[in-house]
Structure 1
Amino acid sequence: MGYTNIAAVAGKGGLFNIVKPTRAGVILETIDDQKKKLVVGGNARVSVLSDISIYTVDAEGSVPVADVFKKIKDEFDDDPGVNSTSDDDELHAFLKHLVPDYDEERVYASDIKKLVSWYNILYKHEKDLLSKGSEDGEDEGNENK
């Protein structure tokens, strides 16, 4: 499994494995021990983690979230030191430490909370994926479990 098979759905908390597409949308499965299935329609905003980036002010313009997850794993492992109840200044300082040139005007505290929440979910259920950056976190084939 790679970042191309994990998705976030607008309005739904957590992360989901992409099981398979359907004619009208996509079948998803929660990344937890319950493995609940969910069908989302074509009008739902589904974002694949491999396509999500953090805005930066450098020439690149963004850094893939997979690379940020790898930095968190390498430096903090199981305790990033912030969570969804941390205040905005702590969250921004945390991201500034990881991505010094992130765009402070376009990345909000709510985005950082989501990033930390996703990291914690992946750490608990897909720990081996976090050691891979955006280049080596891609799947060779498009196999679904």
Structure 2
Amino acid sequence: MDNLFLQTMKLYAKGFCCSQIIVMLAMEAEGKKNPDLVRSLGGLCFGVNWSGEVCGALSGGACLISLYSGKGSEGETQDNRCTTMIGDLVEWFTLAAHEEYGGTRCHEILEKYPDRSMCGLIVSETYKKCMDILADHGLQPACHNR
């Protein structure tokens, strides 16, 4: 087990969900805290408001990429690579999730792993992929250790 996985599991033990954890990992690596952002990501928990739809690792990963490349204020513009990077994440996640986890939806994954034993691995692997995608497109978040 690597440190990222252990850190992920500690956040699960504190009651955070996949979509929150994936962004918290990046923020914590940069020494930042943003409870408002983390709270807002709670709306994506368990497939968006406990609906079992899209996996929180994927939706949280899209938010993570957007955190570093999206529009955040009136004076900013979204990086023109943002949608491409999120598309890269969706493509990777879709292939990996169908092969390894039974689907891209929270309820599909939990049908195969009802004890949520795969969730920590999915989140840590998705986090790593997000960091790789950002780096591959020339964005180097301070938290990225490639």
Q: TM-score range by the shorter chain?
A: under 0.3
Structure number with the higher strand fraction is 1
- The structure with more helix, counted as a fraction of residues: 2
- Give the TM-score normalised by structure 1: 0.27
Structure 1 or 2, whichever has the larger Rg, is 1
